[in-house]
Amino acid sequence: MDLSLHAANADVSEAPLLAMRGIVKLFPGVRALDGVDLDVDAGEVHCLLGQNGAGKSTLIKTLAGAHQPDGGQITWRGETVTLSSPVAALRRGIATMYQELDLVPGLSVTENIFLGHERARYGFLRRGQARSEAAALLDRLGHAEISPDAEVGTLSAAGQQLVSMARALAHDAKLIVADEPTAALAADEVDNLFRIIGDLTGQGVAVVYISHRLEEIRRIGDRVTVIKDGRTVAQNLDADAHSTSELVDLMAGRAVQTAYRDADRDRVDPGDVLLDVDGLSRRGEFSDVSFTVRAGEIVGLAGLVGSGRSEIMETVFGARKPDGGTVSVAGERLRPGSVAAAVEAGVGLAPEERKSQALLLDMSVTHNVTLASLPGYSTLGFADRGRESADARATLERLDLRPADPQRLTRTLSGGNQQKVVVARWLVHGCRVLLLDEPTRGVDVGARAELYRLIHELAASGVAVVVVSSEIPEVLGLADRVLVLREGTVLAQRPAGELTEGDVLDMVMEGSAA
C-alpha cells in the first residue's frame, strides 16, 4: 500500500480553504515545527494525527494565532495571511476548541458564547439580543434544551463542549479545530458530537479533528495528515483506506506493539493483600463498594462516565471523606478523608485531570517528581538539592521521559510525558498502592504502549495497582480482575479473562450482572 507524502487522489485543481506550507516554529533549544504542511478543504473533517510531542499542539496554536511561525506560509481562502493573534484568527473564521475548554464557570452560557465580542450598542450591552442569538446557536447544534441563562459551570462536560462550539459559530467560523473533543464524553455523547459535526460539514464548515482514538478517525474523518517530530510524514490520506497499524507505524516511524499485555512480561503470583476497601460509601456518589488488591495485582474499575469510578479512587486516596466504610493498607486502617495518611501509608494517585489536580505546570519536572517526598530531602532544615535531582533524574530515565531534561518546565511536556512525571512522583516516594485514573487520556499510541509496559513492571515489582479507564478494552486488557460499576454500585467483580467488552456494556447499560 502506498503511504507516500501526498495521496494519489489529492485534488490539486482547486485551492483549499486552508493551506499551511513549510511551517517552522522555534523555541529556545527546540525546533517544535520543522516544515509542516496541512491542507483543509471546506466541508471536510481533516484528521491530524501524531504522537504526543510530535508538534500538533504547536501547529494548532500557530493556526489559532497564539504562536507566530518562524518560517513558512499560511494561505486562507487563496490569500496569504498573517494570523497575528487569536482575535485575528477568529475574525478570519478560524476557531479552536482546546481539549481543556477555556470557559468561565461563573458566567452564563450566553456570556461565555459572546465573551470578548459582547453584543452592545452605544456602549450598552444588548442582553436580550445576545440571549436570543445564543438560543439560536444552541438550536442550530440540536440542543435547544440548554438554557442560555444557565451557569456554564453547572453543565456536563458534553454541555460545556456544546457551548464552546456555539461560541465558535458565533464568530461565523468556517474552520473549527477540535482537539481531543471526545476525551471526556460517554458513548452516547460521542454519537451526538459526531452528528453535530456531520451537520456542520454539510453546511460547508471545515473541521480539523485531533484524537488519539484511532477508531474514531475512520468513523468521522475524510482525510488524514500525520506529523512526527515536527514534520509532515503523510498528507491527505484517505481515512478509510489505511488500517490502524499503518497509521500507528506512520506516527511512530516504526512498528509499535499496541497490545495491552506483553506476553513476555514478568508474571508474579499475587502476594498479600495491600489494599482493602470495605463497604465504602458516599451519599449521592457510590455505595457499599468493597474490593481488595494484592501485591503484584492489577484491578480495573469499568463503567460509564458518572458511574462513580473517579469518586471511589479519590475517596480511597483521602481526597473525599466517606460517609461509611473503611480503607486499609497492609492491614492498617487509614484515617478517613486524609490525603496525608494515605500518602504516608504508601498510596499514590494519578488523577484524571493531571494538569489541574496533580501538576505544578510552571515548576520544574524535578520539583514535581519530588513533591510528595520533600521531607526526605531535608536535613536540619536544609534541602539536599543534589540528591533530590539525582533521584528524579534516575526515575525519569527509567520511565524514558522525553525530552530527558529534569529542569524543564512541566508545562512544556506532552500529555504522555506529563503522565510519566506524575507516576515518577510516586515511584520516588516508594508507593505500595498506585491508583491510576484514566492514565492514557490524551496520550498517543506510542506513549500508551510505554505506559502499559510501566504498569506491568510496577505490578511485577509488587505494587498493587488500581486502574480506571473509559475504554473498556483497556481495562480488560490491563487488569487481572475487574469491578463493573453502574451508578455507584458494583454490579460484578470477576477475573478479566472471564469478561468481554460486550459483557461489560450489557451490564452497565442494563444495570444488572450478566
Residue 7 confidence class, pLDDT cut points 50, 70, 90: very low
Of 53-57, 191-195, 323-327, 437-441, the range with the highest mean pLDDT is: 323-327
Q: How confident is the model at residue 170 (pLDDT cuts 50, 70, 90)?
A: confident
With 80 as the cut, is the pLDDT of residue 174 above it?
A: yes
Residue 377 lies in a domain: yes
DSSP of 176-209, one letter per residue?
Answer: EEEESTTTT--HHHHHHHHHHHHHHHHTT-EEEE
Give the pairing type, strands 332-333 and 298-302.
unpaired
Calculate the average pLDDT of the chain.
Answer: 85
Taking only the tens place, the pLDDT of each residue in 471-484 is 788 899 899 999 99
Which residues, 6 or more positions from 470, have their beta carbon under 8 angstroms from its beta carbon? 186, 304, 305, 438, 441
pLDDT at position 2:
43
Determine which of 70-74, 116-120, 126-130 has the lowest per-residue pLDDT on average.
Answer: 116-120
- The pLDDT value recorded for residue 360 is 86
**442 residue type, one letter:** G
407 lies in some domain: yes
d(CA 8, CA 12): 11
User: Residue 410's closest CA among 357, 448, 355, 447?
Assistant: 355
Q: Is residue 191 pLDDT above 90, yes or no?
A: no
Q: Give the global pTM.
A: 0.58
Q: Which pLDDT band, with edges at 50, 70 and 90, does 44 fall under?
A: very high
- Mean pLDDT, residues 165-181 taken together: 87
Q: What is the dihedral of CA 394, 398, 400, 406, to 10 degrees?
A: -20
Residue 82 lies in a domain: no
Question: Is residue 11 a part of any domain in this protein?
Answer: no
Amino acid 208: pLDDT? 96
% of the chain exceeding 70 in pLDDT = 89
Domains identified in the chain, total number: 1
Domain of 426, in residue numbers: 355-430
* 225 CB-side CA count, 13 A: 28
Least confident of 206-220, 386-400, 489-503: 386-400
3-state secondary structure of 13: coil
The grid coordinates listed for 7 are 495521496
pLDDT-derived band at 252, boundaries 50, 70, 90 = low
pLDDT, tens digit, 9 for 90 and up, residues 194-237: 988 998 999 999 999 998 777 788 889 999 999 988 999 999 99
Asked if residue 447 belongs to a domain, the reply is no
